[in-house]
Structure 1
Amino acid sequence: MKLSQRLSHLQAMVDGPYQHIWDCCCDHGLLGAALLNKQVASTMHFVDIVPGIMQTLQGKLERFFPLNQDATSPQWRVHCMDVAKLPLANYPSETPQLVIIAGVGGELTGELVSAIQASADALGQSIEFLLCPVHHTYQLRERLDTLGLRYFDERLISDNQRCYELLHVARHGKQPITAIGDRLWSQAPSELQLAYLRRLLKHYHQVVRGSQLDQKPQLDRAISDYQAQLDLLST
């Protein structure tokens, strides 16, 4: 099946090679299958907690990517489990592993990254994350920064009339993670950027009115930061 714009951009951000890539919350496994074709990992791991989805995916992988003993052929594993509990201990690697988390909210993405990073730290393993949250990227970015992660790349893309932020981050990343991003706005202002900022501001103004007292400082920061960026791009 043809990849969506969102998944195509994620695929393009995986340059590899990696010993292990974990496609988490993988749904129908389209991105992981595309990466199998691209042969950027020794082993591609498909992870989701829904048994029915994973059973169907297992059958498709067996049909289109049959496993054999040829070490040069793409290898894959299917894991029906909580993404927060990736079995990293069973797959040691001397080089960084890549964990892809896409299609879930920023709050859940942050919780998963925190759990996986803690597990990797305990095992002495190096992990990179490729993230594409569906919302709440401001909160996610602040959490990534507190975890000591930095970014290699970040992109703003549009798919099916929705905007997405894509982040490739790790402890050994190149640049500090900021709450609204830097590279997202580094090019000449575009209608995509302006529309995205206006949409975010409308959302946060609505949310702040019904927010709890302890949430308000972060929401106010988000509004202030996004408004400043919109003003800068509009001048």
Structure 2
Amino acid sequence: MKLSHRLACIDQLITHSYQDIWDCCCDHGMLGAHLVQRKAAERVHFVDCVPKITQQLEIKLAKHLPYSANSNTSSWQVYCMDSAEVSLKDTAKQLVIIAGVGGELCISILKKLFAQNVGKRFELILCPVHHQYELREFLRQQKLGLVSEHLVLENKRYYEVLHFSTEVSQTISLTGSQMWQTNNPEHQQYLEKTIAHYQRISVSHAHPALLAYQTLLNEW
């Protein structure tokens, strides 16, 4: 099945092989299955906390991506668990993907994930729904660095696709530094919608994001 625009964007960011890719909050596993098929990692781990989803996913994967008869290990594994409880390896080249969940939930997951994996090196690809400013702020506090960022329009909704690493020094911009195309009307519309959102929630006092995004717009 063809990947959606945002999943295709995530897929295109994975340009070299990893030992482990963790597809967290994987839902029906479309992205992870595609990564297994193109051998993007030695093993792709599918993680979701909904038993019905993981049970159906395991059946589907076993049917379409069966274990290799020539190997004692499979190229994929399914876990029914909280994504925050993922335990990363100490030395492996690893990528954690979290897409399609709210920014606040993403922060909650990552707080526990970081605490569980102190000192471990890994990359993150995130595609949050809302609260991107707050998520960027949190990740900057965790001393992660920016690899790349992209803005994707899918079904009349905008998504920021964000790639970070524990081993990159590029500072994370709270409003975005790479993804904006100032001559693109869709990008300007997204920025204006974001400003309107923070104007609505700035009732008693202005949200810090409001001034930041207004400043960005004035620079265009």
SS of the residue aligned with 1:61?
A: helix
Aligned counterpart, 2:91: 94
- Give yes or no for the alignment of 1:120 onto 2:117: yes
- Give yes or no for the alignment of 1:200 onto 2:194: yes
* CA positional deviation for 1:148: 0.6
> 1:17-69: CA deviations, max 9, x gaps?
10100000100000001111111100000000000011110000000110134
Name the CA shift for 1:189/1:174 in 2 (closer, same or farther; >3 Å): farther
- Give yes or no for the alignment of 1:106 onto 2:100: no
RMSD: 1.8
- Give yes or no for the alignment of 1:63 onto 2:63: yes
The letter for the 1-side match of 2:102 is G
Name the CA shift for 1:188/1:199 in 2 (closer, same or farther; >3 Å): closer
**Partners of 1:127 and 1:166 in 2: CA distance:** 17
**Partners of 2:116 and 2:139 in 1: CA distance:** 16
- Contact 1:21–1:43 (8 Å) recurs in 2: yes
> 1:177-234: CA deviations, max 9, x gaps?
011010022x44211210001110111111122x7xxxx56x2x2111111111222x
- Contact 1:39–1:74 (8 Å) recurs in 2: no
The letter for the 2-side match of 1:230 is L
SS of the residue aligned with 2:197?
A: helix
**Partners of 2:53 and 2:202 in 1: CA distance:** 37
The letter for the 1-side match of 2:187 is Q
When the two structures are superposed, what TM-score results if normalisation uses the length of structure 2? 0.94
**Partners of 1:15 and 1:73 in 2: CA distance:** 24
Name the CA shift for 1:64/1:7 in 2 (closer, same or farther; >3 Å): same
Structure 2 gaps, min length 5: none
**Partners of 1:113 and 1:158 in 2: CA distance:** 25
Aligned counterpart, 1:225: 212
% of aligned pairs identical? Answer: 41
**Partner of residue 169 from structure 1, selected from 164, 168, 173:** 164
SS of the residue aligned with 2:28?
A: coil
Farther off after superposition, 62-71 or 102-111? 62-71
Structure 1 gaps, min length 5: none
How many residues are treated as equivalent by the alignment? 220
Name the CA shift for 1:138/1:96 in 2 (closer, same or farther; >3 Å): same
The letter for the 2-side match of 1:14 is I
* CA positional deviation for 1:72: 10
The letter for the 2-side match of 1:47 is V
**Partners of 2:71 and 2:6 in 1: CA distance:** 31
**Runs of 4+ with deviation above 3 angstroms:** 71-74
Aligned counterpart, 1:149: 144
- Give yes or no for the alignment of 1:20 onto 2:20: yes
Higher helix content, 1 or 2: 1
